[in-house]
Amino acid sequence: MASRPKSNPDAHNPRVLVTGGAGFIGSHLVDLLASNGSEITVVDNLSTGRLANIEHHLSGIRFIEKSLDDALALLEDEPPFDRIYHLAAAVGVDLILQDPIGSIETNVEQTSALLRYASTHSNPPTLIASSSEVYGKPGASVFSEDDDILLGPTTTGRWSYAHCKAIDEHLALAYTQTRGLPTVICRFFNTVGPRQSGRYGMVLPRFVQAALENKPIRVFGDGKQTRCFCDARDVVAVLPTLLDNTDAHGCVFNVGSDHPIEILALAQAVIDELKSGSEIMLTPYCDAYPAGFEDLRHRRPDLSRIIESTGFAPSFTLEQTIHDIAAFIRGTTLQSKKNA
């Protein structure tokens, strides 16, 4: 795994498909690919994505507002893509708990459809977005890609997302092993940044929104649980490098930061950076989630594999990300008032 990316002679103006390209991470990837001159097709049904995230690109990209399986039927007889980034998914703990059937079907069936399409259309390098949730609740404090995983029982709905993402990974690796489809699996760890919504339980935009309104910031549990936050703009910057590295095909990579912060400290950092009058309010999990909800005390990735393969080194500080999220929320709020 020590080799660096190999040059790809077909990398000039490649035809690229981005599923979920109007979403949070997907739209930042579209920004990057557009700046590199790619010919981009975005598929997004806008269930959680926002057209506003990519409207500055609409004159130069193809946008298909459909569910992925319907879009793939439309693309069936068209020339194949040179690269595929599969980011479409039902995400966020709140959404998973609110709509378990829809979330499970989306996360498994759509990935299966995408892999089937890719394998019958010239086998382009295909990136599958996965999640640190796949690790479940292991005993180790640092998560490595080849670690054993321990998922909670199927009777606890909170674990359905992890089960789905694990199935997606198994499917992708099976397509690589049996049909020669070059896949790369990326397990994202707490990706944050502008365009992210707090609507589905995403912690940092929820904190920033409350701080801007000087409202109490709710921190669940005792706030001593730790997470590692990485800006989406750093995350997407490494994805094409991984996909174009033939040594990375058929491999799983942790993608994120490895600098943990307690959630209580995160809330205080938001208050300090934005000079907010908000107070921190500790909230028991039972007041926010169904009975039996389990949270992880610590979640930190081992990044040695992705550093070895790409030299990955995130550059955005948490403080910069907080300010950029705040600027995005202010801009969105101002635009909503103008449109009212």
Q: Which residues are catalytic?
A: 161
- Residue 300's CB is within 10 A of a number of other CB atoms, namely 21
Nearest-angstrom CA–CA distance, 253 and 187 = 6
Q: Is there a contact between 22 and 46 (Cβ–Cβ < 8 Å)?
A: yes
Q: Which amino acid is at 127?
A: L
Backbone phi, then psi, for 5, in 5-degree steps?
Answer: -55, 140
For 74-78, the CB contacts below 8 A with 24+ separation are 75/17, 75/41, 75/117, 76/117
**DSSP class of 62:** E
**DSSP class of 82:** S
**DSSP class of 120:** T
> Helices 318-339 and 263-273 sit at what angle, rounded to 10 degrees?
60
Place of tokens 């809330």: 267
Q: Is there a contact between 9 and 75 (Cβ–Cβ < 8 Å)?
A: no
- The alpha carbon torsion through 213, 216, 219, 220 (nearest 10 deg) reads -120
Residue 62 backbone zone (phi > 0: left; psi -120 to 50: alpha; other: beta): beta
Nearest CA-CA partner of 124 in 89, 60, 79: 79
